[in-house]
Chains A and B, each alone.
Chain A
Amino acid sequence: MKALSTRMRVWWVVITIAVLVWSLLPVAAIFATSFKLPSQLDVGTFLPKTWSTTNYEQIFTGSAKDLFLPALRNSIGISLIATAVAVVLATFAAYAIARLDFPGKRLILTTALGVSIFPVISLVTPLFNLWRNIGLYDTWLGLIIPYLSLTLPISIWTLAAFFRQIPWELEQAAQVDGATPWQAFRKAVVPLAAPGVFTTALIAFFIAWNDFVYGISLTSTSRARPVPAALAFFTGASQFEEPTGAISAAAVVVTVPVVILVLLFQRQIVSGLTQGAVKG
């Protein structure tokens, strides 16, 4: 490993700083705004004049808690379930695509691509009518089902790519060594497939977590409204006051877990989204 010249080192420091500023400035900005007092919001500085946690109090214990806390619960629950269902379905599909030779392979992958390009707005009004008629409007299930159209395609692609890289002969080798098919599957395949499944779940969760249009169109109360939709409904002290502080605080609360997940699993995410081309 040749040592880096000072010029290269300086270059890399500059690049790193530039990348950090580009990526983190907006996050830092809303972080700072969330600590500003509502009456000092128009001062126009980056940092708060007085650091205050009043916005956080508002969304956790104050007037906005009935809007924020249920929304948080809805988002977490709906996103997790939609991710789980998508990953389960995609695992079976990807296994079939990677291991078996059947003529539907290309069709399914093309369908996945096709489904992912549908404009969501085109789907909401008919879905609204249907959900209203069968009682799924403003329910968790009423969001989980459309979310599958967001999470399934990318899950299928990513998992298919992962599974294609698994050496399936290991399963046969284990069986030759005397293991039952189930043991072979468990001991040889599962450890290799698990990271891929986990990464896919992570990526699918991000997509479900991010949804906005379904959230604002297919819900109307705190029973099922997810956080991005709820952010658009936040209120200030009166119906005319801009709830900048409360929105910023809520935004930070839903961003912190994301940043932590990215921090912990950046290697897996990169591997997953580059279809395994980049591993470590």
Chain B
Amino acid sequence: MLVLRRRVGESLLIGDEIEIEILDANQQGAKIGIRAPRETLVLRKELKLTAQQNTTAAEAPPLADCEHKLKNFRRTAQEPSLRPDKQN
């Protein structure tokens, strides 16, 4: 990853058409301005990760397989103290 230090009011260019400006920065975070062609999709990464994760989540295998994968967890969740020796 390329790492650059920029101050408030300074910007950087990505290719010919995308400009990113640091508008403000403090302990809470940095406020960033983005100038890019209309057709360039700008997304917070978390949104993209969530969309991808949802797509995976929607393809859950048959319930028996899900159950199997959750077996250790569910046993622990339901019988936390009764059968600690049967978790695996």
A and B from one complex: no
